[in-house]
C-alpha cells in the first residue's frame, strides 16, 4: 500500500511539470518585448463559441463570383494573431486555393470582431490561431 502511495506521489511530481511544459509554447517570432504563443493553457475563443464563429462565417463570407463560376472549392487555411485584447492581427494564408478565395478568407478573418484572448497562468497573452475557411459550390 505504501508503494502505491509513493508511486502516485512520484508520478504526480513528474507529470505536473511535464504537463505544464506541454501546454505552453512560444512562437519563434517572439521577442523580449512581445511573447507570442502557439500553444496556451486556455485557447482563444470567438465570442459565443464555435457555433457563433460558424454563424459569423456563414453570414459574412462572400464567395467570389468568378471563383464560384469556375467551380473553385476547397479549404483555405488562415493563421492570425489574437492579441491580449482579443484583436485580430497578422492575418496570413498558410495554404490557399486561388488568389480570389485566399483574399476573401483573409478579408473575412481580418474583419472579425474581437475574440476572447488565450491565457497562460490566468493572464491574457498574444496567441497564434489557425482556422480553416471552407468554400463549397452548392
Average pLDDT, the chain: 85
pLDDT of residue 9: 39
Burial class of residue 63 in the structure, from the number of CB atoms within 10 Å of its CB (0-12 exposed, 13-18 middle, 19+ buried): middle
Spans of all domains in the chain? 24-135
pLDDT of residue 23: 67
Percent of the chain surpassing pLDDT 90? 71
pLDDT of residue 34: 84
pLDDT of residue 5: 39
Over residues 3-35, the pLDDT tens digits come to: 333 333 333 444 444 444 446 777 677 677 888
Instruction: Name the pLDDT band for 130 (thresholds 50, 70, 90).
Output: very high
Count the Cβ atoms, other than its own, within 10 Å of residue 108. 19
All three cell numbers of 102:
485566399
User: What CATH class has 24-135?
Assistant: alpha beta
Count the Cβ atoms, other than its own, within 10 Å of residue 118. 26
Over residues 67-120, the pLDDT tens digits come to: 999 999 999 999 999 999 999 999 999 999 999 999 999 999 999 999 999 999
pLDDT of residue 2: 41
Contact in structure between 37 and 121 (CB atoms under 8 Å): no
Amino acid at each position: 500500500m505504501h508503494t502505491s502511495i509513493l508511486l502516485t506521489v512520484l508520478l504526480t511530481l513528474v507529470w505536473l511539470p511535464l504537463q505544464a511544459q506541454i501546454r505552453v509554447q512560444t512562437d519563434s517570432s517572439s521577442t523580449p518585448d512581445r511573447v507570442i504563443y502557439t500553444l496556451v493553457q486556455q485557447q482563444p475563443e470567438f465570442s459565443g463559441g464555435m457555433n457563433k464563429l460558424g454563424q459569423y462565417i456563414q453570414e459574412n463570407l462572400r464567395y467570389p463570383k468568378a471563383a464560384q463560376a469556375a467551380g473553385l472549392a476547397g479549404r483555405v487555411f488562415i493563421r492570425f494573431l489574437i492579441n491580449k485584447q482579443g484583436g485580430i492581427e497578422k492575418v496570413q494564408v498558410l495554404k490557399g486555393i486561388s488568389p480570389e478565395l485566399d483574399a476573401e478568407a483573409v478579408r473575412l478573418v481580418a474583419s472579425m470582431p474581437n475574440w476572447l484572448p488565450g491565457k497562460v497562468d490566468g493572464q491574457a497573452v498574444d496567441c497564434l490561431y489557425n482556422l480553416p475557411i471552407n468554400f463549397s459550390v452548392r
